[in-house]
Amino acid sequence: MAATLNHLIPAHAPQLLGEHLARAGAGLRPAALVKSAGPDFDSLPLMARGQRLADALIRHLPSKFTQAAPLLVASMGAPMALDAQGEPVSAGDVPSGFFYLAHSLFIAQQGLNHLDIAMDAQHALTQRFTAEFSLRPYLQQHTQATLTHLARWAQDTNAHVRRAASEATRPRLPWAARLSDFVRDPSPALPLLQTLRDDPSSYVRRSVANHLNDIGKDHPELLLAVAGDWFKQAPPTRAALLRHAMRSLIKAGHPQALALLGHGGASALRVSGGATVPARAAIGTSVRLQAELHNPSGNTASALADWRVHYVKADGQTSAKVFKGSTLTLAPGETCVLEKTLSLRQMSTRTHYPGSHRVELALNGQAHAVATFELVP
């Protein structure tokens, strides 16, 4: 992964960082920062580049964080812009937001004994990159004080800042160390999510949904209780947030989650036919999944339909992967055909192995056989 992302902190980043700091009055020459970054900087992977620059900041900024933090903030470029939906549309005036990875690492490592100043610095940082990673040590060592700051952030005028209140407290944030205390008991973050659940920014609401999905992996009963409460008089944006938040439970066919979305119990729809085209495919190609659905009842019937593919593993056993489908409504006697193209390329997230792959269609969480395809080398 890192080898393909090196460009996010390009080779000229040390020079650019030095220029930013010099303009902010840090009293250093850009060449000194370039020298500290080392002659091998361009050969380093992404995260190592960020840490090398953070080490250079530690070396060249004042040793007192109370003096270094204002200089670091003053050196930052323009905040990321936001569109009308509150989605980020640019990385300001730097090569990418990852240019500020060094700033994030510096604050995480150097500011823990100066909470208020560090939080102010992260308030500026999260508008340009993200403070979700640098906030984790503060949540671990100064939990309640950091949550107090984040409660104010949740009502900030800037969507980046509001999103950080949710994203930083996610128990299972990708690329970050888990917050073990929040995994065991996620309730301290729920007031933040309550504040943000109807945020005008889709960027913020998506973070809330992902946070709730994290909670559901360890405490499904808590997620379902929150969802049941939030669905009451929910505007469309909140209902969409909750559907996204419950996606893992829905894919697992959790009955209560399905019921909250109006898909509890067995559907009257039936799988009347199915095929895979071709029925024998090579690794690296693709296969087309087809399922014919029919409503044999005398009433209109609906179902939440998800594809379920049983992939062959290295040991010859199979493991099911669910692909999100759609909600279907068929009139009495009506028939429709669902299709999906399934890529069989080798990916970093999935290795394909030869063997017979079973395909099912889950209707309201209940599996119905569709077809099989043989995967060959």
Residue 152's contacts (CB-CB under 8 Å, 6 or more residues apart) are none
- Would you say residue 3 has pLDDT above 70? no
| Predicted model pTM | 0.86
End-to-end CA distance of the chain: 25
Neighbours of 238 (CB within 10 A): 19
List, for residues 188-225, the tens digit of each pLDDT value: 999 999 999 999 999 999 999 999 999 999 999 999 99
What rounded mean pLDDT belongs to the chain? 94
List, for residues 130-186, the tens digit of each pLDDT value: 999 999 999 999 999 999 999 999 999 999 999 999 999 999 998 888 899 999 999
Nearest Cα to Cα of residue 269 among 336, 359, 341: 336
| Residue 230, token pair as written in the block | 């939030």
Residue 2 has what pLDDT? 36
Residue 269 has what pLDDT? 93
Residue 348 has what pLDDT? 85
Residue 295 has what pLDDT? 95
Architecture of domain 270-376: Sandwich (2.60)
Q: What is the mean pLDDT of residues 39-57?
A: 96
| Residue 144, token pair as written in the block | 């309640």
Residue 40's contacts (CB-CB under 8 Å, 6 or more residues apart) are none
| Residue 255, token pair as written in the block | 């009955």
- 335-343 sheet: strands from edge to edge: 270-277, 286-294, 335-343
Domains in the chain: boundaries: 1-134, 270-376
List, for residues 216-225, the tens digit of each pLDDT value: 999 999 999 9
Q: Could you write out the DSSP letters of every residue in 125-184?
A: HTTTS--TTTTHHHHHHSHHHHHHHHHHHTT-SSHHHHHHHHHTT-TT-TTS---HHHHH
**What is residue 308's three-state secondary structure?**
strand
Q: How far is CA 21 from the centre of its chain?
A: 32
Q: What is the mean pLDDT of residues 34-63?
A: 96
